[in-house]
């Protein structure tokens, strides 16, 4: 292994060695490519997001007396300006809210398919899935949910001390005054250049007059976006979903071959849903239900792992990790068959998250040998009952907490800014299974339950999660990363609970991923070679690959709130007060 940064390596080794007695059942120690994350400790509140200015906006709202939901709403609007590759008002997401004195709730603000979308919308003339339609065209744009979702969170769960306009004001100022192109935006724009350059609305914002892409030293000024945000601040969410903005959005999409209408926008509603809940070794898991698959499969995998004495396996390299990878395969096989929009199909959530189902799956796992994915099929849960996303975590002084993940799907979405609105749009409809068992952009397969259809929500992997101990927040976590989100959140939790890591160590530790198909383990650079050899000896095919996840998380510790910004992507920041 070439060591490019010997000092960084030394720090990593020291950090990894510190709690050596406890570490080692599941998690690899460190990655030379991931600078060690540091915890920021504060007593009164904490915001951890992928973008510096947005984190500061959130903390200022907390300091003004806003609660965690107010701060999360302000961060969401700010990131639509300051983190255009994933922060958005043209996409959608999920928010999990822990309330200090009430039951937890979630907000589903996932995009919906326009009414004209059918099962065959993303097929070519030969009946094959056509990624050009779902990933690269106006047809792949879902009706955005972010404005409705943030507004619903504010109305129902905000403190009531601040107006929605006050929460949007920082975003308006950032859009109007502009921000320097730096950090992850400077790093990610070149990769999106071709996708952005196709659309006149995007060229006006992300390119200079001479046609060159914005870069370090330039300012990103978004006057149209400032005006759109101002309209929402003045008129509330309906100003986005009805009237001039909605008409401009629909017209821009239809001019490019899209099918979204002003009526599709008018009918959009964010939905409050009960969280999906589970337990793991005495902790409560509160996470996102369908139309995200995240919470269901996180709990399914934790339930499988709970049946093993992982601590007893510390001396056997790869033993615990092998079991975790086998659990991942079973969960993703189930995901492909059972999961979809709960408003259109019946998802067996209770069956998939039950301890008895996990026990049945566990019985099929050979502790000594990987089972090939070709031999794994979705299980039989109890009968059916009725790169580029971004995650941030917030907690306030009263212990209210928000875990929010939202997205445009790809980095910069479909790349299209609807002319005159400043709104960068998603390509979320690629998350449907365009054709049964044909992989989407994340290599994920799906079946009937996730077929495209009018008004349907494509299945997501986003996993905003709050882990409770004795009813109080213990970890607030989540991540971007498409199909890798669920396994990332799994490892953040097990690294802490099973391996005894601090949150900073857990966030830093290199990650492993298996999603059933393709049948391979993706190991982040830095996974120890003895672990890889031990996995190969059990029959796993291991490929080294970057893991574009970023788990901006908070732990509640005896010292206070520990905010940890993931160092995998530049610009993430934890600030408390
Ligand atoms: N667009 C990625 C996801 O929702 O999982």
Rounded Cα distance, 422 and 206, in Å: 11
State the distance from the centre of ligand 1 to the C-alpha of 464, rounded, in angstroms.
Answer: 12
Q: Which atom of ligand 1 is least distant from the CA of 462? A: 5
Q: How far is the CA of 108 from the centre of ligand 1 (A)?
A: 13
Backbone phi, psi, residue 153, to 5°: -60, -45
The whole-angstrom separation of Cα 110 and Cα 425 is 13
The residues, ordered by sequence, that sit 6+ positions from 71 with a Cβ below 8 Å of its Cβ are 45, 47, 58, 59, 61, 62, 394, 396, 402
DSSP, res 474: E
Residue nearest to atom 1 of ligand 1 (CA): 409
CA 344 to CA 455: how far, in whole Å?
9
CA of 214 to the centre of ligand 1 (A): 27
For residue 407, which atom of ligand 1 is closest to its CA? 1
User: How far, in Å, from the CA of 303 to the mean position of ligand 1?
Assistant: 23
Atom of ligand 1 nearest to the CA of 485: 5
DSSP state letters, 105-124: EEEEE--B--TT--TTTTB-
Separation between Cα atoms, residue 359 and residue 539, nearest integer Å? 23
Q: Both tokens of residue 325?
A: 């990878």
Q: Please choose, from the candidates 87, 106, 65, the residue with its C-alpha nearest in 3D space to the C-alpha of residue 144.
A: 87
Burial class (CB in 10 A: 0-12, 13-18, 19+), 282: exposed
Q: Which of 390, 485, 487, 549 most suits a substitution to test ligand 1, by most atoms within 8 Å of the C-beta?
A: 485
Q: Which residue of 109, 431, 450, 457 sits with most ligand 1 atoms within 8 Å of its CB, as the best mutation to test the pocket?
A: 431
Going along 1-67, which residue ranges are E strands?
39-42, 46-49
Q: Residue with structure tokens 């720090």?
A: 11
**In the prediction, which pLDDT does 347 show?**
94
Ligand 1 mutation target, pool 336, 412, 461, 479, most atoms within 8 A of CB: 461
Token pair, residue 510, equals 């290199």
Which residue has its alpha carbon closest to ligand 1 atom 4? 460
CA of 481 to the centre of ligand 1 (A): 8
The catalytic residues are: 389
Distance 429 CA to ligand 1 centre (A): 10
Residue with tokens 């065959």: 120
From first CA to last CA, the distance across the chain in angstroms is 41
The DSSP call for residue 370 is: P
Helix 319-338 × helix 529-537 angle, to 10°: 70
Atom of ligand 1 lying closest to residue 458 CA: 4
Ligand 1 atom nearest to CA at 442: 2
Tally of CB atoms within 10 A around 47:
36
Q: How far is the CA of 335 from the centre of ligand 1 (A)?
A: 13
Which residues, in sequence order, are CB contacts of 575 under 8 Å at separation 6+? Answer: 40, 42, 46, 47, 48, 55, 56, 58, 59, 563
Which of 146, 460, 463, when mutated, tests ligand 1's pocket best, judged by the most ligand atoms within 8 Å of its CB?
A: 460
How far is residue 249's CA from residue 426's CA, in Å, rounded to a whole number? 12
Predicted local distance difference test score (pLDDT) of residue 315: 84
Q: Profile the chain (577 residues) by mean pLDDT over runs of 10 residues.
A: 28 32 50 84 98 98 98 98 98 98 97 98 97 96 98 98 98 98 96 96 97 98 98 98 98 98 98 98 98 98 97 89 97 96 95 97 97 91 66 98 97 96 97 92 89 97 98 97 96 96 96 95 92 96 90 97 94 97
Helix 223-235 to helix 68-82 angle, to the nearest 10 degrees?
A: 150
Rounded to the nearest angstrom, the distance between the alpha carbon of 288 and the centre of ligand 1 is 13
- If phi > 0 it is left, if psi is from -120 to 50 it is alpha, else beta; for residue 471 that is left
- Pocket residues: Cβ below 6 A from ligand 1: 389, 407, 409, 428, 431, 460-462, 482
- Which of 534, 538, 488, 540 minimizes the C-alpha distance to 519? 540
Sheet with 553-557: strands ordered across: 39-42, 560-564, 553-557, 472-477, 465-469, 283-287, 276-280
Task: Give residue 21's pLDDT.
Answer: 29
Residue 27's pLDDT is what?
Answer: 57
User: 39-42 and 560-564 as β-strands: parallel, antiparallel, unpaired?
Assistant: antiparallel
Evaluate whether 120 touches 218 at the Cβ level (below 8 Å). Answer: no
DSSP E strand boundaries for 24-177: 39-42, 46-49, 92-99, 102-109
The residue nearest atom 3 of ligand 1, judged by CA position, is 460
Protein residue with least CA distance to atom 2, ligand 1: 482
């Amino acid at each position: 292994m070439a060591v490019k940064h010997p000092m960084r390596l030394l720090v990593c080794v020291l950090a990894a060695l510190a709690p050596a007695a406890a570490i080692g059942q599941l998690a690899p120690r460190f990655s030379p490519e991931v600078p060690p994350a540091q915890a920021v400790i504060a007593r009164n509140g904490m915001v951890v997001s992928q973008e510096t200015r947005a984190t500061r906006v959130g903390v200022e709202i907390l300091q003004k007396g806003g609660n965690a939901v107010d701060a999360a709403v302000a961060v969401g609007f700010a990131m639509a300006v300051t983190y255009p590759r994933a922060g958005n008002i043209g996409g959608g997401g999920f928010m999990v809210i822990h309330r200090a004195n009430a039951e937890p709730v979630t907000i589903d603000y996932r995009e919906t398919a326009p009414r004209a979308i059918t099962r065959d919308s993303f097929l070519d003339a030969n009946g094959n899935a056509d990624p050009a339609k779902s990933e690269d065209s106006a047809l792949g744009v879902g009706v955005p949910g972010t404005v409705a979702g943030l507004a619903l969170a504010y109305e129902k769960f905000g403190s009531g001390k601040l107006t929605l306009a006050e929460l949007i004001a920082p975003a308006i100022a950032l859009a109007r005054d502009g921000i320097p192109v730096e950090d992850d935006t400077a790093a990610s724009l070149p990769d999106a250049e071709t996708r952005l350059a196709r659309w006149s609305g995007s060229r006006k914002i992300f390119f200079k007059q001479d046609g060159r892409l914005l870069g370090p030293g330039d300012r990103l000024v978004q006057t149209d976006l400032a005006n759109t945000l101002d309209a929402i601040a003045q008129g509330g969410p309906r100003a986005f979903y009805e009237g001039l903005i909605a008409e401009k959005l629909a017209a821009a999409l239809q001019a490019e071959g899209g099918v979204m209408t002003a009526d599709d926008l008018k009918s959009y509603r964010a939905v409050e849903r009960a969280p999906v809940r589970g337990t793991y070794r005495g902790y409560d898991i509160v996470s996102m239900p369908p139309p995200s698959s995240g919470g269901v499969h996180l709990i399914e995998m934790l339930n499988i792992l709970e049946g093993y004495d992982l601590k007893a396996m510390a001396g056997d390299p790869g033993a615990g990790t092998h079991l975790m990878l086998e659990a991942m395969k079973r969960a993703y096989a189930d995901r492909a068959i059972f999961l979809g929009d709960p408003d259109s199909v019946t998802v067996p959530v209770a069956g998939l998250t039950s301890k008895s189902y996990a026990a049945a799956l566990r019985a099929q796992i050979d502790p000594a040998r990987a089972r090939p994915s070709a031999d794994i099929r979705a299980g039989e849960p109890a009968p059916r009952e009725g790169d580029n996303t971004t995650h941030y975590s917030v907690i306030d002084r009263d212990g209210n907490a928000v875990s929010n993940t939202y997205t445009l799907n790809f980095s910069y979405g479909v790349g299209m800014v609807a002319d005159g609105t400043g709104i960068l749009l998603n390509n979320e409809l690629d998350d449907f299974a365009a054709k049964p068992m044909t992989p989407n952009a994340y290599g994920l397969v799906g079946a009937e339950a996730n077929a495209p259809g009018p008004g349907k929500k494509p299945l997501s992997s986003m996993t905003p999660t709050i882990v409770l101990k004795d009813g109080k927040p213990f970890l607030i976590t989540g991540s971007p990363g498409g199909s890798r989100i669920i396994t990332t959140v799994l490892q953040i939790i097990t690294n802490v609970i099973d391996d005894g890591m601090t949150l900073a160590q857990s966030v830093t530790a290199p990650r492993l991923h298996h999603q059933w198909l393709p049948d391979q383990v993706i190991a982040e650079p830095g996974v120890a070679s003895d672990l890889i050899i031990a996995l190969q000896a059990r029959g796993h095919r291991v490929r080294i690959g970057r893991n574009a996840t970023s788990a901006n998380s908070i732990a509640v510790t005896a010292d206070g709130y520990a905010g940890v910004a993931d160092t995998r992507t530049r610009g993430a920041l934890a600030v408390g007060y």
